[in-house]
Structure 1
Amino acid sequence: MMMLPQEGLGRRAFLTSSMALTCSMLTACARPRQAQFADVDQLVRTAIRDGQAPGAVVAIGHEGQIVHRYVYGNRALVPQQEPMTWETHFDMASLTKPTMTALAVMQLVERGDLHLDDPVTCYLPAFGINGKGSITLRLLLTHYSGLPADLPLEDAWSGKSEAVRRAMTSPLANPPAEKFVYSDINFITLGLIVEKVSGLALNDYVSRNILTPIGMTQSGYLPDTSLKPVIAPTQYDEKNVLLRGVVHDPTARRMGGVAGHAGLFSDAHDMCLYAQALLDRLAGRPSTFPLKRETLLLMATPQQPAGKVDLRGLGWDISTHYSTPRGDIFSHHSFGHTGFTGTSLWIDPDSDSYVLILTNRVHPSGGHSVVKLRHDIATEAARDLGLTSHT
């Protein structure tokens, strides 16, 4: 197990220059921050010792810097123990939705190639059957489409073309715009729209238009086999093969590893770059975030149908029963998302802060809930930053 709390790690250049520091100097620099966030670190240690996850990487960003990072436990327990590291790559699961797919959609909206209140059938005519003709892109992005949670998985189908057929022919679970139901089919469909309109495979579009501009060199879909040693494994599949560098989500896996709802692999460094670029854009500072500020504001503010109490941005969660990673102190203007594998990112523009938590809680056999851990870390991080409750 490792512990790597350091101050001010917001840029790769700093990491390079910091290698010149002696160990004693680095320890001296780290002590104030380590003490400041000691309660966060204790929450992580306790959770891992209790078996909630094999290990964790936590990063807290504030006012343009990574003010604290903590690495503890193991990235793998089987077939042999491997220590967790800051450089560990994680299956980001549903964090793919807001960070990549929704951003891709909004880039195309910004360019005038898509329109939020157009029916999906403007782009995918086959989608309109079974009462889905009135579903718009905005309803997909906010999970108010009325679609069920996922494609049926009971039978052993495989292949992207079959996934497309099932998404296009899916029945409704609720009337469109009536109820918030978190649905992978929404983002599978959005990924297909990005591909149709851009003429690029989703992973190629994301690489060219999101990862490269931000500088996320350690992120992408379908990771090369050479990266396998640094990827945190998840769990055994239906054939008793340990998933490592292969997407955990069964629907994305059947689709070949690239989908609108899951498939991204990334590490803490790159996800901090993303969060910081996003905050910089919202704050009007120089930023590599590949979207205009006014477009990003649409993503990060409530966009659900009028009168609905479950608040969703365009891809981002704002205030629903999934919003526990906000904790008790971060602003109600904050937003974020989670991933089933044990990942989460919560961003608070009001305090210029974010909390990134990366675990592979499903390793090796399904794992335990980290819902309370996310909440408690966010609460303690905000308190340690000196923020006061929004209530």
Structure 2
Amino acid sequence: MIRDNGQYIREKASMDFQTVTDELKTWTKARVMPGFSVALLTGKTVQTAVSGEAQWFPQPAPLQPHMLYDVASLTKVIGTTTVFLQAWDQGLVSPDMPLHRFLQDFPHTTTFRQALTHTSGLEGYIPHRNALPAPALKQALMTQLTVTEEVDRQVVYRDVNLLLVGWALEQVYHQPIQTLITRQVIQPLALPQATFQPDSQQCVPTTYSPAVGLRQGVVHDPKSAILGKHSGAAGLFASLADLVTFTEYFFGNRQSASWPAHAADLTQDWTKHHLGRSLGWDLRRDGQGRLWLYHTGYTGTFWLIQPDDQLALVVLTNRVHPQPNPAFLAKRDALIARFLSDFKTMPAV
């Protein structure tokens, strides 16, 4: 962000808000997803757009501003990672503390750092996983996985890493992880609509099939659907305004005693062998060499933040409606690559 005597100067960019919005509209026209909500933040300026439909089946319905999305794995960074950073601020945990200090049934030496950066090397197959009741699923995930030789040497993104972090934090604070996220993140940061218990009529639907019907206001992720309030990997429903508000804390445009001081340490590589992951967040480098925080959600959400220069892109979609559309993934990755390559800050002429 360019500043002049502490004041923000309006920016021009080759990859600007209109370009991003126009690109997303081509996706809806190609029926990659029904609709989208998008925000571009530059300093104290927030540009937003909502376009397309909320659903196609069983009948079309309009997409309205302030509707809630199943943000899927964005739960990991809004919620579980933030609660970890708060606990770190309080001296209750640290990145290199082993999880088994809090999880007596967990047999490995995996640390918070390894789990949060997805370098734990944890791997395994649990038969009939999606049919297990919550206690059995939790026990299986804690006791039936093994640590492979990939530990510390390869990033392998797995939900279980953040599930384990969430369960450890439950032992730290003696409350379910989703309760912790609600009480320590959503409420004190005044996220206007974020919730684990949404009004289904306010939610953008995910999947639909004639046999099962429309999934609306119910978490899409199978493990999180089973684990309920004990899942720190998915389950949050949030609006575009919620993610904009959260981003503004990174910028310093909002303040709260609940915002973790260690959030300032996220724009660095926390892996042992420089594999490009922060705590909770992925990292992406732009054409000017700046590191951006990045995360995606299976349902069709993605989020980029450059805290130092106060830049961010938030895109929310339901690309899993009526069923997951793999074409979305290539388009998303191409848009992110182009955005990071082309988005430049420069003084206005």
TM-score by length of 2: 0.87
Match of 1:24 in 2: none
Q: What SS does the corresponding residue of 1:256 show, helix, strand or coil?
A: helix
Which amino acid in 1 is paired with 2:240?
A: A
Q: Does 1:202 pair with 2:177?
A: yes
Change (3 A) 1:239 1:78: closer
Query: Aligned partners of 1:135, 1:152: CA distance in 2, in Å?
Result: 19
Superposition deviation, residue 373 in structure 1: 3.6
Query: Aligned partners of 2:288, 2:216: CA distance in 1, in Å?
Result: 34
Preserved contact between residue 129 and residue 137 of structure 2 (Cα < 8 Å): no
Which amino acid in 2 is paired with 1:368?
A: P
Query: How many residue pairs get matched?
Result: 333
Q: What SS does the corresponding residue of 1:335 show, helix, strand or coil?
A: strand
Q: Does 1:233 pair with 2:191?
A: no
Say which of 311, 314, 318 aligns to 1:356.
Answer: 314
More RCO (CA 8 Å, sep 6+): 2
Preserved contact between residue 281 and residue 294 of structure 2 (Cα < 8 Å): yes
Instruction: Please say which of residues 174-183 and 91-100 is displaced more in the overlay.
Output: 174-183
Change (3 A) 1:356 1:138: same
Q: Show structure 2 runs of 5+ residues with no match.
A: 1-11
C-alpha distance after superposition, 1:133-159 (max 9, x if no partner): x211111111011112x8636455333
Superposition deviation, residue 379 in structure 1: 6.2
Q: Does 1:315 pair with 2:280?
A: yes
Matches within 5 A, 1:83-122: 83-122=62-101
Query: Aligned partners of 2:104, 2:263: CA distance in 1, in Å?
Result: 28
Superposition deviation, residue 202 in structure 1: 1.4
Query: Aligned partners of 2:212, 2:147: CA distance in 1, in Å?
Result: 33
Question: Is the helix fraction higher in 1 or 2?
Answer: 1
Say which of 241, 252, 266 aligns to 1:299.
Answer: 266
Query: Aligned partners of 2:120, 2:270: CA distance in 1, in Å?
Result: 13
Two-structure CA RMSD over aligned residues (Å): 2.7
Q: Does 1:59 pair with 2:39?
A: yes
Identity percentage of aligned residues:
27
Matches within 5 A, 1:228-377: 228-236=200-208, 240-256=212-228, 258-280=230-252, 287-288=255-256, 290-293=258-261, 295-305=262-272, 307-308=273-274, 310-319=275-284, 329=287, 331-375=289-333, 377=335
Say which of 140, 143, 149 aligns to 1:169.
Answer: 143
TM-score by length of 1: 0.78
Preserved contact between residue 127 and residue 169 of structure 1 (Cα < 8 Å): yes
Q: Show structure 1 runs of 5+ residues with no match.
A: 1-31, 320-325
Q: What SS does the corresponding residue of 2:201 show, helix, strand or coil?
A: helix
Q: What SS does the corresponding residue of 1:246 show, helix, strand or coil?
A: coil
Q: Does 1:140 pair with 2:115?
A: yes
